[in-house]
Amino acid sequence: MQTIGGQKMLFSELTNSRLWKMSGRLKDAGPELFTLKDRHNHHYILSPTYEEVASDLLSLNPPISYKHFPLKVYQISSKFRDEMKPRYGLMRGREFLMKDMYSFDIDETSAKDTYNEICTSYDKIFDRIGIDYVKVLGDSGSIGGNLSHEYQFKAPIGEDCIITCNKCNFSANSEVCHEKKCPNCGEQENVLVQTGIEVGHTFLLGDKYSKPLKAFYLGKNAKPQVLQMGSYGLGLSRILAACVELLSTETDIAWPDVLAPYNVAVIPPKAGSKEEQVTKDVPENLYKLLEDSIPQLKDNVLLDDRLSLTIGRRYLDAKRTGYRYIVVINEKSSGEKPTFEMNDTKETDRLYLSQEELIEYVKQNTKF
Amino acid sequence: MQTIGGQKMLFSELTNSRLWKMSGRLKDAGPELFTLKDRHNHHYILSPTYEEVASDLLSLNPPISYKHFPLKVYQISSKFRDEMKPRYGLMRGREFLMKDMYSFDIDETSAKDTYNEICTSYDKIFDRIGIDYVKVLGDSGSIGGNLSHEYQFKAPIGEDCIITCNKCNFSANSEVCHEKKCPNCGEQENVLVQTGIEVGHTFLLGDKYSKPLKAFYLGKNAKPQVLQMGSYGLGLSRILAACVELLSTETDIAWPDVLAPYNVAVIPPKAGSKEEQVTKDVPENLYKLLEDSIPQLKDNVLLDDRLSLTIGRRYLDAKRTGYRYIVVINEKSSGEKPTFEMNDTKETDRLYLSQEELIEYVKQNTKF
């Protein structure tokens, strides 16, 4: 978000209902909107999304000059939706973490450019996460606008239907999962229908919110003109839950490398063991070496110093929690040619590597 | 928080009213509590604090073994209070950022030890911020418990009264600001009454919440026993607002060094100027050198590359925003003996320093 010029901020989670009245969304929102009143009987909503609030921020007098656009603001915060059927823990909760961005441009052409730029950055984020996903034409739903795209993790437990036509390459969120007919070209044979988990959604909104909320810029002619807007959401807590759902087994969690709490766990021998006596500073030194040798491992290596526990117990804990590489220190890890037991939880074989080989292995196999 | 063994987590902001009924706090809370109902007519509060929720987390069956205590959990999140008189922007808002920690111990002695340990870490935090503060015996208010302390920034606009007795060294939050009599020893002469902004509050709670919420541990005798609890709050958004209030002038913001968005701003010459031609890579090199020479300056130096703006304009912006050191690159900043114009906004004199002197100056004068 920073790389593409996003400016981080934090909106309040309570939104005055007045703003949602201005956009017309208050009456359409229905029971999914949490509402409350303060001690003065003023009405508020617990915000599920911030198109109105972001527009309101730009409804300044005098408006900002055309020179300062595009403007992209984003936040990471809790959002609220009174779901009829909350389920699967963080997958569909009534309170969830979302990264949302709002873009403002002076005309439709530049708004489209900004939209594409931000979508490209979303593509990169999902490519790095590495879960099999599909980007489809979105169902604009209650947010509306001219164009929208959804990022969907392919998943059997997904609640959304994705229709993909192999004839015309059209791909979209489909209201009805049983219908096997391309909405674009009418093809009925080469059509794939699969379920997905919606993890991101982008909207090119035009002036749907900026006009009623009076989000204007000051044009070259020194007159206020309506801004063109985009809105972009990433479901952070849902992405985490979906990763656990899709990558884990009954007993062990697995994470995409970029999302793991730590990539490497180093497990020293148990206190009082003979291995402990011969290895001394080896665990700490390896820990430091890993952090120093690979920039992405900075603050990303765990030294499990619960030395009162057996190696086996700590190994199981590491596997369960989802640290990809579990390095066990044993009596062969000291001396002239020290080797380390490397367990890559993505592979079945256990490896015995020198320090140099260990670092090279992590470098080569991790998708940072 | 990590250094003292705190475990970071995130509680949901909506709390089921049932938990606050169990502690008895729901009926005492009054209009300061935001309340709402969901679509099923279940009652929730927008949490101002989490003693009940943290206790509920520990009400496991079977309870956790005594071996795993003390336990310290903390979060950084928005809290809500329907203030009668919200004012001074972030200073007293109805939605605010708070860092809150909850500690659990197996007996009163270790609970007191944990309380003291966490208070010491709070002392260190406020020492580093460097705003003149006083730690006083707290008004336990609606949270209650056995003992509490408040951290108060000394401030004319503060809404709290602090009474300090120079005879017996007693210091406390006083309900009534006009009364000049030590509540501890009765002294009436050597007593100081001043106003403060409450920025932190710690509570040793005993079993006030753990007992009704059934937060138990499994004792050595294998029987469930009530945990002893502590609660510790830091008003993050209020600390920022108070710093601005206390350190800034009409025109310029100033920050404590540890809280500044950036400590150093480097301002290169305007594009197309003759200074630009002779200095070329100098700004970028200085920027990198500063980041590399002083560990605390990593991601903490701003290179203001808005080269279409004059140096003067960017200098004013830097001063307004509160970057302490503003380094201006001019024609003397290149060649054999380059010098840099160093403006320490805490001093009046402008300095002309070599690269080495510049780095040494920042090292010596910054309170990282």
Query: Model confidence over B125-173: pLDDT tens digits?
Result: 999 999 999 999 987 666 677 899 999 999 998 999 999 999 998 899 8
Per-residue pLDDT band at B57 (split at 50, 70, 90):
very high
In this complex, the residue of B10, B34, B97 whose CB is nearest that of residue A36 is: B34
In this complex, the residue of A36, A78, A95 whose CB is nearest that of residue B36 is: A36
* A1 lies in some domain: no
Per-residue pLDDT band at A139 (split at 50, 70, 90):
confident
Please report, rounded to a whole number, the percentage of residues in chain A having pLDDT higher than 70.
99
pLDDT of residue B141: 64
pLDDT of residue A142: 64
Residue A95 near chain B (CB below 8 Å): yes
The tokens for A282 are: 């080896």
Q: What is the pLDDT of residues A27-47, one digit of tens each?
A: 988 899 999 999 999 999 999
Residue B39 near chain A (CB below 8 Å): yes
Range of the domain at A335: 264-365
Selected for mutation to probe chain B from A16, A37, A46 (highest B CB count within 10 Å) is A46
Last residue of a domain, one of A247, A272, A304: A247
pLDDT of residue A146: 81
Q: Are A143 and A275 within one domain? A: no
Q: What is the pLDDT of residues A61-104, one digit of tens each?
A: 899 999 999 999 999 999 999 999 999 899 999 999 999 999 99
Average pLDDT of chain B, as a whole number: 94
Looking up residue B106, the CATH number of its domain turns out to be 3.30.930.10
Q: Are B265 and B223 within one domain? A: no
Q: Is B74 exposed, middle or buried (0-12, 13-18, 19+ CB in 10 A)?
A: buried
Q: Are B317 and B187 within one domain? A: no
Q: Are strands A301-303 and A264-267 parallel, antiparallel or unpaired?
A: parallel
pLDDT of residue B179: 77
Interface contact flag, A84 B36, Cβ < 8 Å = no
pLDDT of residue A175: 75
Q: What is the pLDDT of residues B321-330, one digit of tens each?
A: 999 999 999 9
Residue A13 near chain B (CB below 8 Å): yes
Q: Are B147 and B261 within one domain? A: no
Q: What is the pLDDT of residues A217-235, one digit of tens each?
A: 999 999 999 999 999 999 9
Residue A76 near chain B (CB below 8 Å): no
Q: What is the pLDDT of residues A313-340, one digit of tens each?
A: 999 999 999 999 999 999 999 989 999 9
Q: Are B97 and B229 within one domain? A: yes
Q: Are A108 and A180 within one domain? A: yes
pLDDT higher than threshold 90 for residue B211: yes
Residue A39 near chain B (CB below 8 Å): yes
* A332 lies in some domain: yes
Last residue of a domain, one of A201, A218, A247: A247
Please report, rounded to a whole number, the percentage of residues in chain B having pLDDT higher than 70.
99
**Cα B219 to Cα B204: distance, rounded to the nearest angstrom:** 21
DSSP state of A296: G
Q: Are A89 and A193 within one domain? A: yes
Q: How many domains does chain A have?
A: 2
pLDDT of residue B266: 98
* B211 lies in some domain: yes
Per-residue pLDDT band at B176 (split at 50, 70, 90):
confident
Q: Are B126 and B170 within one domain? A: yes
In this complex, the residue of A34, A39, A82 whose CB is nearest that of residue B82 is: A39
Interface contact flag, B12 A84, Cβ < 8 Å = no
Chain A: give the shortest CA distance to residue B81, in Å.
10
Q: Are B274 and B238 within one domain? A: no
Interface contact flag, A82 B13, Cβ < 8 Å = no
pLDDT of residue A111: 98
Looking up residue B316, the CATH number of its domain turns out to be 3.40.50.800
* B334 lies in some domain: yes
Residue B80 near chain A (CB below 8 Å): yes
Q: Are A34 and A110 within one domain? A: yes
Locus of tokens 């008189």: B85
pLDDT of residue B29: 86
pLDDT of residue B142: 64
Chain B positions in Cβ-Cβ contact with residue A82 (cut-off 8 Å): 38-39
Backbone CA torsion sign across A114, A212, A224, B307? negative
Chain A positions in Cβ-Cβ contact with residue B299 (cut-off 8 Å): none
Residue A317 near chain B (CB below 8 Å): no
**Cα A232 to Cα A119: distance, rounded to the nearest angstrom:** 8
* A63 lies in some domain: yes
Interface contact flag, B84 A39, Cβ < 8 Å = yes
pLDDT of residue A180: 84
pLDDT of residue A337: 93
Selected for mutation to probe chain A from B2, B12, B83 (highest A CB count within 10 Å) is B12
Q: Are B221 and B272 within one domain? A: no
* B1 lies in some domain: no
Q: Are A75 and A182 within one domain? A: yes
- Tell me the mean pLDDT in the region B270-297: 95
Last residue of a domain, one of B247, B277, B304: B247
Locus of tokens 């489909």: A174
Q: What is the pLDDT of residues A166-213, one digit of tens each?
A: 999 889 988 777 878 888 898 999 999 999 999 999 999 999 999 999
Chain B: give the shortest CA distance to residue A336, in Å.
35
pLDDT of residue B145: 73
Per-residue pLDDT band at A350 (split at 50, 70, 90):
very high
Nearest CA in chain A to B42: A82
Per-residue pLDDT band at B180 (split at 50, 70, 90):
confident
* A180 lies in some domain: yes
Interface contact flag, B78 A77, Cβ < 8 Å = yes
Residue A35 near chain B (CB below 8 Å): yes
3-state secondary structure of A254: coil
* B140 lies in some domain: yes
pLDDT of residue A140: 64
Locus of tokens 């003992």: B147
**Cα B263 to Cα B327: distance, rounded to the nearest angstrom:** 11
pLDDT of residue A353: 97
pLDDT higher than threshold 90 for residue A145: no
Chain A: give the shortest CA distance to residue B13, in Å.
8
Residue A9 near chain B (CB below 8 Å): no
